[in-house]
Amino acid sequence: MKLKIFIRGDDSEMRASKEIGERFQKEHDIEPEILDLDERGGKEVAEVYDVTAVPSFIATTNDGMVLGSFIGKIPAEFELQEVLR
């Protein structure tokens, strides 16, 4: 499974999103992919998943099938855990 975290800039909400990704990496051995919408690569991946708001979290299978998404908000950690099971 993969966890894609879409951000833009470095305000407190974006830092909190990154911290959640770091915790999931440590606790669940899922390496988050941090994608900044201000960068070309992040913008391209965001278009694939139709992400226009930040922060956004998308959990996918290794081949890219979406298991769950949280667009424009930071999900509660238990919500992410349920999707990633």
For the chain, the structural domain boundaries read: 2-83
Q: Provide the CA 37 distance to its chain's centre, in angstroms.
A: 12
Q: What is the pTM of this model?
A: 0.93
CB of 82 closer than 8 Å to CB of 1: no
Q: Around Cβ 85, how many Cβ atoms within 10 Å?
A: 8
Q: CA 2 → CA 10, 22, 24, distances in Å?
A: 22, 13, 11
Per-residue pLDDT, 64: 87
SS3 category, 17:
helix
Fold of 2-83: Glutaredoxin (3.40.30)
DSSP letter (8 states) at residue 71 = -
Chunked into runs of 10 residues, the chain (85 residues) has average pLDDT values of 94 95 88 95 96 96 93 93 85
